[in-house]
């Protein structure tokens, strides 16, 4: 797993190496500050991290890890075993990697022995329906879809109803990704949520926001807007392998107080890995500190 995280953070680790060519046993706060800023952690948050470190200028790995880990303390996400079918609504702007992430998520569930069904409720773009259908065929999962322009909430209703009839474990529903400040998108998402609940009480069981990792901390405003519309339960970060902004996850976690479920580290269906805060922090710190020194 560390290997996958390392792959996802390769550009961020490269930036760290530019600032600090040689690993150290202890790091001075000025260099640490530069590393954190170069990794796309906002300056105010960097100042906060530095503030909570011990007062001396040279600090150890264990002290930094303790502070960084505190940003990933949030409520545990709902268990997938709690409901059947477990309905997930996937939300996010166009270009964030929503459709590909849905396929990766479905593939993950399939590998766990679950029966999965997709719902193509992004009826705004014909390309979105076609793309999701291609993925469904590739990973061999059923899909409920309609033509472009049809009512997306009807697709969501049909997908959940079909899943109930066929004893499906997981339903993953795509949604349109037009700009988050458009009123019609806001109303459409709210309607889909209402209709999901009519199809199965309590659905959707989880509303997941897809954020593009290459956008860094600017993705936070997107997330806040979607959260205001429908209330987001969890986040997936995509395209982390294509950016040096790996540090932005700290700001996202702090600002949104929502669990990061997975990170995308490539284009293939297996390139979606469960996010583990310890592994993420350890991977970053391993590029700064000499092994077996100052760990704890």
User: Domain 86-277 falls in which CATH fold?
Assistant: Rossmann fold (3.40.50)
pLDDT at 295 over 60: no
Q: What is the mean pLDDT of the chain?
A: 90
Q: Is 66 helix (H, G, I), strand (E, B) or coil?
A: helix
Which backbone phi and psi does 113 adopt, to 5 degrees? 85, 15
pLDDT at 177 over 90: no
> b/e map of 147-179 (b: 16 or more CB within 10 Å)?
eeeeebbebbbbbbebbeeeebbbbbbbbbbee
Which backbone phi and psi does 240 adopt, to 5 degrees? -65, -25
* Domain ranges, ordered by start, for the chain: 2-74+280-286, 86-277
Residues in the chain: 296
Helix axes 43-51, 248-256, angle to 10 degrees: 80
User: Which residue from 28, 251, 129 is spatially nearest to 118, judged by alpha carbons?
Assistant: 129
Pairing between β-strand 58-59 and β-strand 86-91 as defined by DSSP bridges: unpaired
- Summarize pLDDT for 206-244 with one digit per residue, the tens: 999 999 988 877 788 888 889 989 999 999 999 888 777
Q: Give residues with Cβ within 8 angstroms of 6, minimum separation 6.
A: 13, 283
CA distances to 209, 229, 292 from 109, in Å: 18, 28, 36
Query: HSE-up of 163 (CA within 13 Å, CB side)?
Result: 31
- The string of DSSP codes covering 230-261 is H---EEEEE-GGG-S-TTHHHHHHHHH---EE
pLDDT at 52 over 80: yes
Q: How confident is the model at residue 294 (pLDDT cuts 50, 70, 90)?
A: very low
pLDDT at 296: 43
**CA 66, 67, 71, 75 torsion: positive or negative?**
positive
- Summarize pLDDT for 66-114 with one digit per residue, the tens: 999 999 987 766 665 668 999 999 999 888 999 999 999 999 999 999 9
CATH of segment(s) 2-74+280-286: 1.20.120.140
């Amino acid at each position: 797993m560390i290997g996958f995280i390392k792959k996802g953070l390769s550009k961020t680790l490269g930036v760290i190496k530019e600032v600090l060519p040689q690993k150290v046993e202890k790091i001075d706060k000025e260099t640490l500050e530069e590393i954190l800023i170069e990794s796309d952690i906002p300056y105010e948050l960097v100042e906060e991290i530095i503030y909570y470190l011990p007062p001396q200028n040279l600090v150890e790995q264990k002290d930094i890890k303790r502070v960084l880990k505190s940003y990933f303390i949030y409520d545990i996400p709902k268990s997938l075993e709690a409901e059947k079918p477990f309905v997930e609504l996937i939300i996010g702007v166009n270009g964030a990697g929503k459709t590909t992430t849905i396929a990766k998520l479905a593939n993950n569930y399939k590998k766990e022995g679950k029966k999965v069904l997709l719902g193509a409720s992004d009826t705004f773009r014909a390309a979105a329906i076609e793309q999701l259908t291609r993925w469904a065929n590739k990973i061999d999962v059923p899909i409920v879809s309609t033509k472009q322009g049809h009512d997306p909430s009807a697709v969501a209703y049909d997908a959940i109803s079909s899943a109930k009839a066929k004893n499906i474990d997981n339903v993953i529903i795509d949604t349109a990704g037009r700009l988050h400040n458009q009123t019609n998108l806001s109303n459409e998402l709210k309607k889909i949520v209402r209709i999901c609940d009519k199809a199965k009480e309590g659905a959707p069981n989880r509303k997941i926001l897809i954020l593009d990792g290459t956008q860094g901390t600017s993705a936070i405003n997107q997330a806040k807007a979607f959260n205001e519309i429908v209330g987001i339960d969890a986040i997936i970060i995509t395209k982390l392998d294509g950016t040096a902004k790996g540090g932005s996850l700290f700001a996202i976690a702090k600002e949104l107080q929502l669990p990061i479920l997975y990170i995308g580290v490539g284009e293939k269906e297996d390139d979606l890995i469960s996010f583990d805060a310890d592994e993420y922090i350890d991977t970053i710190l391993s590029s700064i500190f000499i092994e077996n020194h100052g760990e704890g």
